[in-house]
């Protein structure tokens, strides 16, 4: 990973963000910029230097991780009071940006005291926008994570005919991913069968899966901090009704249309519109109750959003999901999701599991 170059890229963004320095408090952003993976730290990035403050638990780890990443930054270790003193002493006089999305009100009040001689300004998404473009090392981790999820699904596919409870199936998927090398699961695995499928973020229940109903499986693996994200909808035997079959056909077509729309330079809302048009044409506009997708990386949901109202433009190196769905409470739900790498002339999928519906 090209971690060492990231502070330089951030510095070029300070001026446009209206600040002379940025205090990074979002731990995922700190990890991105320095390689530090501890659970408590703040990072002050100035035009010429950077200062990481953390506590005694991370004295050894912080030095090791920054050095391994080749990152040039001073490190100060101390209790919260000492950390604030260090930050205050290192502060430039001008405008210091805070990450508005991650600073609690109480912290803002504390920092106003720490940086009493500076002007604090709210910034939004400065580091998150850098994170959207993945470097080769990040892509590699995400491909490994996606490959683990693909393999885990392949391993449990044949056991689906045993018709277990949703929760058992979820545990089995999680276990396979861990066993295949995932550090953890990306998020709580979704196994939603029959009517439960009509809730896009249903949690796996004790409900026993029935033949002929749709099963929405949405899951991912975590590898060295990087997430994968994929949804497949399957059915044990033929779908029990014509409506279920039609839902799957429509969502599959919408998902293909969305993936076909992905290309560097395309507005994120256009990808959403491509999916939405197919579903609206089928008469189910109101049954597609969420956005089309999101960026994936160190966070499972990150910049950019792909929704009706999102204004970002896709760029080469973004990794985003395309995941339209149709949810009908009286029938069930369908969602199909791939994670793709945005390229100059289209996109390349990271998730490769087959999309055939019926498991016999």
Query: How far is 271 from 293, CA to CA, in rounded Å?
Result: 9
Beta bridge partners of 223: 226
> Judged by CB under 5 A, does residue 218 bind Zn ion?
yes
Cβ-based nearer residue to Zn ion, 20 or 229: 229
List binders of Zn ion among 315-344 (CB under 5 A): 321, 337
Shortest approach of Zn ion to residue 276 CB, angstroms? Answer: 16
**Alpha carbon of residue 147 to chain centroid:** 16
Burial class of residue 180, CB neighbours in 10 A (0-12, 13-18, 19+): middle
Cβ-based nearer residue to Zn ion, 175 or 187: 187
Shortest approach of Zn ion to residue 171 CB, angstroms? Answer: 18
| Strands 95-99 vs 119-123: parallel, antiparallel or unpaired | parallel
Q: Which spans in 91-241 are helix H?
A: 105-114, 126-132, 136-157, 166-179
Shortest approach of Zn ion to residue 187 CB, angstroms? Answer: 8
| The one among 150, 172, 174, 229 contacting Zn ion by CB under 5 A | 229
Kindly report whether the peptide bond that precedes residue 304 is cis, defined as omega within 30 degrees of 0.
yes
Contact 86, 76 (CB under 8 A): yes
Distances (CA, A) of 299 to 222, 266, 319: 10, 23, 12
* Residues 165-204, mask of contacts with Zn ion (x by CB under 5 A): ----------------------------------------
Segment interacting with Zn ion (CB under 5 A) among 76-84, 126-134, 152-160, 227-235:
227-235
Q: How many residues bind Zn ion (CB under 5 A)?
A: 5
Cβ-based nearer residue to Zn ion, 29 or 321: 321
* Residues 104-143, mask of contacts with Zn ion (x by CB under 5 A): ----------------------------------------
Cβ-based nearer residue to Zn ion, 53 or 340: 340
Shortest approach of Zn ion to residue 199 CB, angstroms? Answer: 14
Shortest approach of Zn ion to residue 137 CB, angstroms? Answer: 22
Segment interacting with Zn ion (CB under 5 A) among 24-32, 35-43, 106-114, 230-238:
230-238
Cβ-based nearer residue to Zn ion, 111 or 312: 312
Half-sphere exposure of 278 (CA within 13 A, CB side): 25
Cβ-based nearer residue to Zn ion, 30 or 221: 221
| Phi and psi torsions of 53, nearest 5° | -115, 135
Cβ-based nearer residue to Zn ion, 231 or 233: 231
Shortest approach of Zn ion to residue 59 CB, angstroms? Answer: 37
Query: How far is 302 from 227, CA to CA, in rounded Å?
Result: 11
Query: How far is 166 from 203, CA to CA, in rounded Å?
Result: 9
C-alpha dihedral, 192 to 197 to 199 to 203, nearest 10°: -10
Cβ-based nearer residue to Zn ion, 29 or 231: 231
Cβ-based nearer residue to Zn ion, 66 or 153: 153
Continuous segment of H or E residues that includes residue 190:
strand 190-193
Shortest approach of Zn ion to residue 21 CB, angstroms? Answer: 34
The single-letter DSSP state of residue 129 is: H
Shortest approach of Zn ion to residue 348 CB, angstroms? Answer: 17
Instruction: Give contact residues for Zn ion (rule: CB under 5 A).
Output: 218, 229, 231, 321, 337
């Amino acid at each position: 990973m090209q971690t060492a170059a990231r502070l330089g890229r951030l510095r070029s963004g300070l001026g446009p963000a209206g600040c002379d320095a940025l205090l990074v408090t979002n731990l995922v952003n700190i990890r991105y910029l320095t390689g530090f993976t501890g659970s408590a730290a703040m990072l002050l990035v100035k035009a010429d230097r950077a200062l990481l403050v953390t506590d005694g638990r991370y004295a050894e780890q912080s030095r090791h991780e920054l050095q391994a990443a080749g990152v040039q930054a001073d490190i100060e270790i101390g209790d919260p009071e000492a950390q604030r003193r260090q930050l205050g002493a290192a502060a430039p006089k001008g405008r210091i940006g805070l990450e508005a999305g991650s600073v609690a009100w109480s912290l803002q009040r504390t920092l106003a005291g720490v940086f009493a001689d500076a002007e604090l300004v709210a910034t939004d998404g400065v580091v998150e926008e850098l994170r959207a473009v993945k470097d080769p090392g990040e892509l590699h981790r995400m491909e490994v994570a996606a490959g683990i999820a693909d393999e885990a699904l392949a391993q449990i596919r044949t056991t689906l005919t045993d018709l277990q409870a949703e929760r058992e199936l979820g545990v089995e998927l999680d276990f396979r991913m861990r066993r295949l090398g995932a550090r953890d699961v990306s998020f709580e695995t979704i196994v939603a069968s029959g009517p439960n499928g009509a809730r896009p973020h249903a949690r796996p229940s004790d409900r026993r899966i029935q033949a002929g109903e749709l099963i929405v499986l949405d899951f991912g693996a975590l590898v060295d901090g990087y997430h994968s994200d994929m949804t497949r909808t399957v059915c044990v035997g033929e779908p029990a009704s014509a409506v279920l079959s039609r839902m799957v056909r429509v969502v599959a077509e919408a998902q293909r249309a969305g993936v076909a729309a992905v290309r560097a330079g395309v507005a994120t809302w256009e990808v959403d519109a491509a999916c939405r048009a197919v579903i609206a044409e089928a008469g189910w506009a109101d049954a597609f109750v969420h956005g089309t997708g999101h960026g994936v990386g160190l966070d499972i949901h990150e910049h950019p959003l792909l929704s009706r109202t999102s204004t970002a433009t896709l760029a080469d190196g973004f990794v985003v999901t395309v995941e339209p769905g149709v949810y009908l409470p009286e029938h069930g739900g369908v969602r199909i999701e791939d994670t793709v790498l945005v390229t100059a002339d289209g996109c390349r999928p990271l998730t490769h599991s087959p999309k055939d519906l019926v498991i016999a």
